[in-house]
Each structure stands twice: as C-alpha cells, then as structure tokens.
Amino acid sequence: MQAFLDLLNNVTPGLLQGTVITLQIAAVSLLLGMAIGLPVGVGRVYGPVWLQRVLGAYVTLFQGTPLLIQLFVVYYGLPDLGLTFGRMEAAFLTLGLNSGAYQAEYLRGALQSVSEGQMTAARAIGMSKWQAIRSIILPQALRLVLPAWSNEVIAMLKNTAVVFVIAVPDLMTQAKNLSSRYFAPIPIYMTVAVFYIILVGAVYLILRQVERRVQIPGLTGDAESAA
C-alpha cells in the first residue's frame, strides 16, 4: 500500500499535466465540432438538395472511418499535400472534424423532430425561412439535442486518448510514459481510468444541470420531480 502511495505521489503531477492537455483538446475539438456541426446539421435539413448531398458525404466519411485513421491521415498524410500541422493542431482538427459529423447528425435528428406546424406558424406570421429556423426551430432543436450532445461530450473526453499515437502529451500519453518509467503499468493505467471517470462524471453532472436549466416549463415536468 505504501508503495502504491509513493507511486501515486510520483506520477500525479505528470497525470495532472496530461489532464490539462486532455481537457484542452476536448474543449477545442468540441467547439470546433459545434462550429461545423451546427451549419452542417441545418444545411442537411433545410439546404438545397445538392448541399444536402455534399454535407451527407462529409458526415459519411467521418462517421464511416476509424478515428485513428483520420488522425494518421491528417498528421502524416496531409503534409504530402503541403498541409503540415503541429501535433496539437492535428489533434484539434481531426477530433473537431470527427465531432462535427456526429454533432451534425444529432442536430439533424433534433431539427426533424420539431413539429412541422412550428415552421408553418412562423411562416404564417411573415417570417422568412431562415428567420423561422433561427428564431423558432433552432431554439427548440438545441434543447432537444442536449442529451445526445452530452453523450458526444463524454465520448470526446475519452476519444482524445487516440492522440497518444502522435505523441501529444495528454493524459493517455503521460500514462504510457510514466508506466514505462516506473515499470508499473497496471496501477498507473487504473489510476488514469479513475481520472477519466472523474472527468466524465463531472461533465455529466454539469450537463444535466444545463438540461434542467433550459427545459421548457410544463413540457415534460419530469426534471423537477426527479430533482
């Protein structure tokens, strides 16, 4: 036991540094993914047919191939085309593009589940299609997308671990390096697993709060009674 506590004492600073990097990658990638997913999701539902096809191809590409391959292509493949990225940039870009595809799909589902009458009523008071999307459809769809989006945040926190293959010093990479330095892979990976669980748990609790906060009064009523 004392040996484990000593080990923990030695590795914790490194793991905390890794955690900061992991959070940074997750946050930037999620924001980038949102910046991509929002217009892509809207375009896939309300855009002209040709645009829907193009955006559909993007989504299929990133949902249909392993994240690891995407990361290799961005970091090792694109330099052949003259596009060179630093490690962190490659991580942001790959995870952001990947997350964008998933976020677009979640949003598409949410947009399609807003009843058609909402659009009709908005048009009937003289709103243009885009005004209706912005003021009426999106505020409802974004509420509906929150549970799926929470899953995406959680998946992202763990997906960041792939960046160890391009040696970004995130939590996973730190774990790998520290476990070979101290010859104690199992205790260290178990500790790292606990780190991830704490991160995911904290994010989950925060997002539940957000969901509750933006809930439309009277619509379901279950959050209040559950709380």
Residue 87 or 143 with smaller CB distance to another protein: 143
Token code pair at residue 14: 């490194």
- The whole-angstrom separation of Cα 33 and Cα 78 is 20
Place of tokens 């459809």: 137
Smallest distance from the beta carbon of 136 to another protein, in angstroms? Answer: 5
143 binds another protein (CB under 8 A): yes
218 binds another protein (CB under 8 A): yes
Place of tokens 């010859």: 183
- The whole-angstrom separation of Cα 205 and Cα 210 is 9
121 binds another protein (CB under 8 A): yes
Q: Please tell me whether residue 168 adopts helix, strand or coil conformation.
A: coil
**Residue 224 half-sphere exposure toward CB, CA atoms < 13 A:** 8
Please identify which residue in 139, 147, 185, 201 interacts with another protein, judged by CB under 8 A: 139
Please identify which residue in 216, 222, 225, 227 interacts with another protein, judged by CB under 8 A: 216
Taking residues 63 to 102 in sequence order and writing x for each that binds another protein by CB under 8 A, - otherwise, the string is: ----------------------------------------
Token code pair at residue 12: 């914790």
CA dihedral in degrees (147, 153, 157, 163; nearest 10)? 130
Residue 24 or 118 with smaller CB distance to another protein: 118
User: Applying CB under 8 A, which residues contact another protein?
Assistant: 115, 117-118, 120-128, 131, 135-136, 139-140, 143, 216-219
